[in-house]
Amino acid sequence: MINILVPWIRNIPDVPTDRITYGAPGEWQGLPLMPFIPSLLLRLQDWTDHLHAKTLDLCDKRHTDARDMTKLLEIAVCQVYSLDEDRTWLLASLIEGAEHRIPEYLTIHPFTSYNGRRSGLGGQPSWSRC
């Protein structure tokens, strides 16, 4: 699935051109890709929105969101990522929202708590190598 992201809607940042990467040969070849940290934070925002949604169709999405979050946490733990690199251009509301969403996610999905702690998600968002 491809998501078309429009800056400033739902905390989607206006990504600086030097932070955009492009898909390697294959299915995503040549497509602009959102940097990892904002992708993770936006996915977390989606999960929270779907968790608290009033309609069944949106509530049903929380399971896919949780599966995606688990995969993203595994990536965050196993590779070097730093929120500091993106903090200057990310919307403060996205970062502040993540600081509230992360503990909620790790409480509801304790099986990911180990990865969350290893990645620094238990408190101040920061990511480190395995």
Query: Could you give the CA distance from residue 98 to residue 75 in angstroms, rounded to a whole number?
Result: 17
Confidence category of residue 129, pLDDT binned at 50, 70, 90: very low
DSSP state of 125: -
11 in Cβ contact with 44 (< 8 Å): no
Q: Kindly list the domain boundaries of the chain, sorted by start residue.
A: 33-118
Query: Could you give the CA distance from residue 13 to residue 85 in angstroms, rounded to a whole number?
Result: 14
Residue 127 above 70 pLDDT? no
Taking only the tens place, the pLDDT of each residue in 7-64 is 767 888 889 999 988 888 877 788 888 888 898 899 999 899 888 888 888 888 888 8
Q: Is the dihedral of CA 33, 37, 43, 45 positive or negative?
A: negative
